Amino acid sequence: MKSHHEYLSNLIELLTILRQDCQQVEEAAGLIAQSLQNDGLIHVFGTGHSHMLAEEMFYRAGGLGSVNPILEEDLMLHKNASRSTELERNPELAVNILAKHKLRKGDVFIIASNSGGNALVEAIGNQVKERGLLLIAITSLKHATSPAARVHGRKIHELADITIDNLGQVGDATISYPGLEEKTGPTSTVLGTAIVNALVVRSVEIMIENGHKPEIFSSSNTSDGDSRNSELLSVLKERVSIL
């Protein structure tokens, strides 16, 4: 089998497993729906490539309105990639990062961390729990519990109210080559985006079942998209600063 076929087959297999065992997604979607029904916010945070899950949930055609992405430029890759790796290991940054956001008891906080073990992720998880927010972790349990993983304190799955396993391998990459030590073909981003969108669609369904009208962004590239979104933006801008 050629490597690209193998990679795509790996993704299909993992998505199939995720679909067959959706209990954690179901439970997490229930928490999200309950929070939104009580006028809560969904905060989403990740370092490195995991920050893309926060972007995926935010201001998205077909996405929830009440989503607050915690996007710290210094922890993203476009500014200084190697520096971002250093900073995600610094727990002292947690206080200043969270101080920029309106966190309330009963809100839901999603942390995406494939390894689950960086010091900053642990520190933010601890503070989120101390403030009475509901914590959902998206992580690779295989990596987080592996002897090969970097060890620092508690892993995010040990702090979370609900943990959703992205089913990733240790080190994330999945494709091996003869004579090459390194692997390619990471799966955490594809599985992560599938997970967060599964959370969205199921939480919306639950809200409708409970008689609530969910706030959903429309595509701005449709004829009525701007008008639909402007109404939603007028309501949300006070709560989500980067809207």
In order, the DSSP letters of 133-144 are: -EEEEEE-HHHH
CATH topology of domain 8-236: Rossmann fold (3.40.50)
Whole-angstrom distance, CA of residue 172 vs CA of residue 186: 5
Instruction: List the domain boundaries for the chain.
Output: 8-236
Give pLDDT, residue 151.
62
The amino acid that residue 70 corresponds to is I
Task: Report, as an integer, the average pLDDT of 189-193.
Answer: 99
Q: Minimal CA–CA distance to 155: which of 195, 131, 121? A: 121
pLDDT digits (tens, 9 = 90+) for 44-102: 999 999 999 999 999 999 999 999 999 999 999 999 999 999 989 989 999 999 999 99
pLDDT digits (tens, 9 = 90+) for 192-202: 999 999 999 99
Q: What is the pTM of this model?
A: 0.96
Query: Strands 134-139 and 108-112: what pairing?
Result: parallel
Residue 147 has pLDDT above 90, yes or no: no
Measuring CA to CA, how many Å separate 123 from each of 52, 92, 99, 130, 233? 20, 8, 13, 11, 31
Q: 31 near 162, Cβ under 8 Å?
A: yes
